[in-house]
Structure 1
Amino acid sequence: MNPRAALRSAGALSVTGLMLLLAACSGSSSSDEGTDASALTQANTFGTVSSSLDVLKWNFPAEPNTLDPTTTGGYAGTTIVASTCDSLTYQTADFEIKPHLATPTQVSPTKVTLDINTDATFWDGKPVTPADVIYSLEKSASPTAYYNFAFTYVKDMKQTGAHQVTVTFTQPDELFVKELSSNVGTVWEKAYAEKAGDKYGTAEGGIMCSGPLELSDWTPGQSITLTKNPDYWDPTFEAQSDEIDISFVADSSAVTQGLLSGDLDGASNLAASTIDSLSDTDAGTLVSGQTITQTYLALTNPGGRTGSTDLRKAIFGSLDRDTIASSIYQGAAEGAYTAIPSDYWESDATDIYEPAYESYEADRNLSTEDAKALVEKSGYDGETLTLAYAAGDATVQLMAQYLQQQMATIGVDLKLKSLQTAAYSNVLYSSEARKDIDFVIFDNYGYTLDPVESLAFFFGTGQVFNFTDWDDAAVQKGIAKLRTTFDTTKRVTEFVKLQDAWETELPLTTIVVPRALTFVGDGIGGVTTSAAANLQPSLALIGAE
């Protein structure tokens, strides 16, 4: 499914205007045509491994705040955790769920058993026990954990055998098992974590896990070094590099230079602004992979300056998402028009999702005149609104500048605020840091092909990314009902009925669904190039081609 809206003759900033913006930012002529992402290698894995590497040099654009699975966020943190700390299940590069540290069995709608692999050991040689699994799951269910939505209906978790844990639920929950390949199902050693206390997951406190790569060194603000676990229990994910040196350079130009010079062997989560420089080089291959990723424009405060739904409808409805995808992202994204877009859909239910989606797509294609009328109706009187975004990513910077110009065309004054990694992370995870911010651009990395996940994450009461504390009783009841429904057709039919609530209130909207851009250096293979890289021990698979 690839819906495309017709370009609006009197709507958003024109294609010509957008190209002039791109030219002004890049210093190139507006007539220059960049490489279209459709010309890139399209794959979820790239290259095979013929031998191991002594040292692999890899880059992510942002350093994780912690390696504690309960509170790490962002692509780098979750990918590093997935390669050091085994999860109960994992996902293939094509998002198929497989048993890993344990084999889950849905015994009944309200009972799941987890049979732990008896070969699994931690780095210190101790076996992975039911006590470790229960401890880890309980930590992930705690009120401060980022992913506790997965445990909403968990009643208890008990050891029911020498190598078995049984989870029971207060009501049926179709989502729980699907989440076990993410940080939700990550397991770490209870005794080590209890001794480390609040320092667990930090550079000082370290971690103790069972994965194929061990945390060897962490120099905050600079790099993380992982080394091969020589006694890893699962040959499927045996490390193919003896050492992996991970850098965290955010600046797209600097990363590009490192890749072209060979100082870096590869990089994940690249910005679309790197496509022209990296798409045709002997230094390696730029690969475009599948994602469950959305780039959002979200409100960050309840009520206040953005409290009017008419104002939000005007702003969200005036964005030419398809032009953003084709021009700013150079085709490495698809315009998206709902909070839960098509990359989350189950493939066997597209015919149910699609008609409803198309109606929202039509509603979000406002002309400039219609958007201006809504702004006037909203009572907006010229207050300056502030948009926060992450510094260093040239693509996001261009989009922020486009949003600023587009808001000006409908009479809304938008101030841009570029934030370095730590400050940006604070905005995402701290309501205090958001008090002077009205909007934020951020990416969500989904964990499973089921929109119910995102509903719980964004609209669940008290959840981390429910920035505006949006709480609709009917939606909460609806989410609970969806999670009880194991039948895909029935669940999706109910989802389509329910989504009008948040699509009317608009606490956030998706702008685009970006592709995963990964650069694989010449001579490197075994790279997972889809967004499933953070749902499996993907870094361990990378070696010499």
Structure 2
Amino acid sequence: MTRAFSSATAACAALSLLALAGCSSGTEATAGATETVDIELVDQMTPASTGLDELRWVATEPRNIDPAFTGTGQMIYSNMCENILVQNPDYSVEPNLGAVEQPDDLTYNITMRDDVEFWDGTPMTAADAVWSFQRQLDPNLGSNFQVYVKNVDSVEQTGTYTWTIKMKSPDAMFGPLLATGMGNVVSKAWGEANPGKIGTADGGLMCTGPYVLESWRAGSGVSMTANPDYWDAERAPLTPRVEFVFNEDPASVIASLSTGEIDGAFDFALSALEQLRSADGTVTFGPSLAFWNLHFINVEDGPLNLEQRQALTYALDYQGIINGVLKGTAEEDRALTPKSSWGYGEQIFQEAWEELPTGRQNLEEAQRLIEAAGKPSETFKVAYSTSSVEAGQIATAVQAAGQSIGINVELRGYPQAQFSPIYFDPAAREREDVDMYIMNGYMDAIPEPVAWYLNFISSSNGNFANVTNPPTDEWMVEASRTLDDDARAELVVQAQQYWIDNALVMPVASPYTRVYTGPGITGAPASDTYRVFPWAAQVGADQ
């Protein structure tokens, strides 16, 4: 039976009201607790009725805006470069530049639209889509999506607007990922004429989206202008020009937002939450596939044995972090992936979740474990990014937890440029000689836990724990090939139990997406789909 690929199921409910009780923490890291607040989670702000003269949005300067890569560039290029499928703010997926059908479990037949042009007026065809997808397969490119294309057997253009992807085995994640940068389409002719320059400051882009790249001024910002010939009239941009302003100084960002010099920001520094709430604009919260996780590194050779890692896990003040550091704008987390990632099998995940001991402080159990195991003789070294105030505070909370049970914790702060390689490069972990990595991460825009777990199998550079032949490798490969949702969920909960039983990660919290928009500005997505969705086209004035 032929199956048309789309999804109308959201990962989270469109609206939920959460009462978040603030309380004082006993550690320095979480001092200054929040008051009890009501937070309404929405997928998207109220639609705008008209455009602005210009939209100015704060951004962190990315290393590139090539849609084959994830990172800080996603928020920018998602407005210019489109994907075969589109993921809406409620996480539902539908056809976009193309439509996907599966005549069998190993075949994806893709039909591209025949009415789409690139910014230079040349028509988009299947040749462009095939060329763009094949970039993902090139190991020399180093795309972040390579872990998801290892199962691809062949790619073939079958007509002017049609092409086919054959898989080596069934793949539960592949279809939805065509709504992310893995399914992006860049002009083949332009790309071949600009080798090595796609998404660079001096190279640029050639895509089909609602905004056209005007300029990238290194150290300053990126400018986009509305595409006058955009193919989708219903999603045509309201505002003619968008300026992304590069600014990584929290105090300066908040001042610019408060004065109206900048119109909006996603996931602004939480230290400014109360100041922005009292400003003239609007603070909006939405669902997120993000998380704060503490990853143990090289556990077989590290300074802590299993019982000592478990003791540290029980000693951490999670609720203090949520209420103090994260200002009540996050929820409890107990596994490698948050509850928002349950795009299926919710009952299976929920029942397994309730059995997990993580995410809650238990000092009595921490003391019992450390007394049985003994105190470690070596110092436990924790790496964190100095560009994040919250990361530094969480690191301090880990240090306090360790000291409370006799573990000597040394904090090592790194600028982001030096911190990022610890995640991507095992050699950097060894070089820096650290034992824990504080991760403020997010999943690749689809509510599928398997997609994230695959980043940590033995063959992946994300294998922090470096466990020899963990059974989770086999489980996750099997899960990725399992199309039955409940059967796949059972494999995931088996893997998450292994991670927790072996104390490979300390899940801390799952933060909500937060958005600030200036007075009278609306239309922005409130979920973290802004990384894959052309969100700026819908931002404008509320009247």
**Same fold, TM-score > 0.5, yes or no:** yes
- Residue 75 of structure 2: aligned partner: 79
Write the deviation string for residues 128-185 of structure 1: whole angstroms up to 9, x where unpaired. Answer: 2222211221222333221112212211111122211111111111210011111111
Question: Any conservation in 2 of the 1:141–1:150 contact (CA below 8 Å)?
Answer: no
Shift of 1:385: 2.8
Deviates more, 1:124-133 or 1:305-314: 305-314
Shift of 1:471: 5.5
Once superposed, which parts of structure 1, at least 4 consecutive aligned residues long, lie more than 6 Å away?
none
> CA RMSD for the aligned pairs?
2.6
Shift of 1:41: 4.8
Residue identity matched to 2:181: N
Q: How is 1:494-533 mapped onto 2 (pairs within 5 angstroms)? A: 494-533=491-530
Gaps of 5+ in 2: 1-11
- Residue 334 of structure 2: aligned partner: 337
Instruction: Find out whether 1:135 has 2:131 as its counterpart.
Output: yes
- Residue 212 of structure 2: aligned partner: 214
Instruction: Find out whether 1:387 has 2:385 as its counterpart.
Output: no
- Residue 412 of structure 1: aligned partner: 407
Write the deviation string for residues 80-125 of structure 1: whole angstroms up to 9, x where unpaired. Answer: 1211110111111111011111111122111111111112221111
SS in 1 for 2:86: strand
- Residue 45 of structure 1: aligned partner: 44
Write the deviation string for residues 335-367 of structure 1: whole angstroms up to 9, x where unpaired. Answer: 211112311112x52221122212213x56464
SS in 2 for 1:181: coil
Shift of 1:493: 2.5
Question: Any conservation in 1 of the 2:69–2:181 contact (CA below 8 Å)?
Answer: no
Number of equivalences = 519
Residue identity matched to 1:263: E
- Residue 110 of structure 2: aligned partner: 114
**CA pair 234-301 structure 1, distance change in 2 beyond 3 A:** farther
Residue identity matched to 1:250: E
- Residue 159 of structure 1: aligned partner: 157
Instruction: Find out whether 1:423 has 2:446 as its counterpart.
Output: no
In the alignment, the residues of structure 1 paired with residue 202 and residue 53 of structure 2 have an alpha-carbon distance, to the nearest angstrom, of 26
Deviates more, 1:477-486 or 1:288-297: 477-486
SS in 2 for 1:298: strand
**CA pair 247-469 structure 1, distance change in 2 beyond 3 A:** farther
Instruction: Find out whether 1:400 has 2:399 as its counterpart.
Output: no
**CA pair 452-21 structure 1, distance change in 2 beyond 3 A:** closer
- Residue 27 of structure 1: aligned partner: none
In the alignment, the residues of structure 1 paired with residue 248 and residue 35 of structure 2 have an alpha-carbon distance, to the nearest angstrom, of 22
Residue identity matched to 1:403: V
In the alignment, the residues of structure 2 paired with residue 304 and residue 485 of structure 1 have an alpha-carbon distance, to the nearest angstrom, of 34
In the alignment, the residues of structure 2 paired with residue 354 and residue 293 of structure 1 have an alpha-carbon distance, to the nearest angstrom, of 18
Residue identity matched to 1:208: M
Shift of 1:249: 2.4
Residue identity matched to 2:26: G
Deviates more, 1:98-107 or 1:368-377: 368-377
Instruction: Find out whether 1:305 has 2:302 as its counterpart.
Output: yes
Question: Any conservation in 1 of the 2:359–2:508 contact (CA below 8 Å)?
Answer: no
SS in 1 for 2:155: strand
Write the deviation string for residues 304-361 of structure 1: whole angstroms up to 9, x where unpaired. Answer: 3256323322222322323321222122001211112311112x52221122212213
- Residue 26 of structure 2: aligned partner: 17
SS in 2 for 1:278: helix
Give the alignment partner of residue 268 of structure 2, picking from 267, 270, 279: 270
Shift of 1:217: 1.6
Write the deviation string for residues 383-412 of structure 1: whole angstroms up to 9, x where unpaired. Answer: 333322223433332222222212211222
**CA pair 380-146 structure 1, distance change in 2 beyond 3 A:** farther
Q: How is 1:87-486 mapped onto 2 (pairs within 5 angstroms)? A: 87-143=83-139, 144-282=142-280, 284-301=281-298, 303-306=300-303, 308-346=305-343, 349-361=345-357, 365=360, 367-368=362-363, 370-372=365-367, 374-375=369-370, 381-435=376-430, 436=432, 437-446=434-443, 447-459=445-457, 461-470=458-467, 472=469, 474-486=471-483
Shift of 1:380: 5.9
- Residue 531 of structure 2: aligned partner: 534
Q: Which has the higher helix share?
A: 1
In the alignment, the residues of structure 1 paired with residue 490 and residue 111 of structure 2 have an alpha-carbon distance, to the nearest angstrom, of 34
SS in 2 for 1:338: coil
Residue identity matched to 2:526: T
Question: Any conservation in 2 of the 1:482–1:495 contact (CA below 8 Å)?
Answer: yes
In the alignment, the residues of structure 2 paired with residue 300 and residue 237 of structure 1 have an alpha-carbon distance, to the nearest angstrom, of 45
What TM-score, normalized to structure 2?
A: 0.89
**CA pair 334-110 structure 1, distance change in 2 beyond 3 A:** same
Question: Any conservation in 1 of the 2:30–2:321 contact (CA below 8 Å)?
Answer: no
**CA pair 526-132 structure 1, distance change in 2 beyond 3 A:** same
Percent identity, please.
27
Question: Any conservation in 2 of the 1:311–1:374 contact (CA below 8 Å)?
Answer: yes
Shift of 1:481: 2.0
Question: Any conservation in 2 of the 1:41–1:286 contact (CA below 8 Å)?
Answer: no
Instruction: Find out whether 1:543 has 2:540 as its counterpart.
Output: yes
Residue identity matched to 2:496: Q
**CA pair 16-210 structure 1, distance change in 2 beyond 3 A:** closer
Shift of 1:223: 1.6
In the alignment, the residues of structure 2 paired with residue 329 and residue 432 of structure 1 have an alpha-carbon distance, to the nearest angstrom, of 32
- Residue 26 of structure 1: aligned partner: none
Residue identity matched to 2:485: T
SS in 1 for 2:302: helix
SS in 1 for 2:196: helix
In the alignment, the residues of structure 1 paired with residue 406 and residue 220 of structure 2 have an alpha-carbon distance, to the nearest angstrom, of 43
In the alignment, the residues of structure 1 paired with residue 451 and residue 86 of structure 2 have an alpha-carbon distance, to the nearest angstrom, of 17
SS in 1 for 2:473: helix
Deviates more, 1:531-540 or 1:481-490: 481-490
What TM-score, normalized to structure 1?
A: 0.88
Write the deviation string for residues 473-499 of structure 1: whole angstroms up to 9, x where unpaired. Answer: 532222222222222122212322343
Shift of 1:375: 4.5
Residue identity matched to 1:141: L
In the alignment, the residues of structure 1 paired with residue 356 and residue 294 of structure 2 have an alpha-carbon distance, to the nearest angstrom, of 16
SS in 1 for 2:316: coil
Shift of 1:15: 4.3
In the alignment, the residues of structure 2 paired with residue 248 and residue 217 of structure 1 have an alpha-carbon distance, to the nearest angstrom, of 13
In the alignment, the residues of structure 2 paired with residue 35 and residue 465 of structure 1 have an alpha-carbon distance, to the nearest angstrom, of 37
Shift of 1:369: 5.0
- Residue 493 of structure 1: aligned partner: 490
In the alignment, the residues of structure 1 paired with residue 524 and residue 25 of structure 2 have an alpha-carbon distance, to the nearest angstrom, of 38
**CA pair 22-162 structure 1, distance change in 2 beyond 3 A:** same
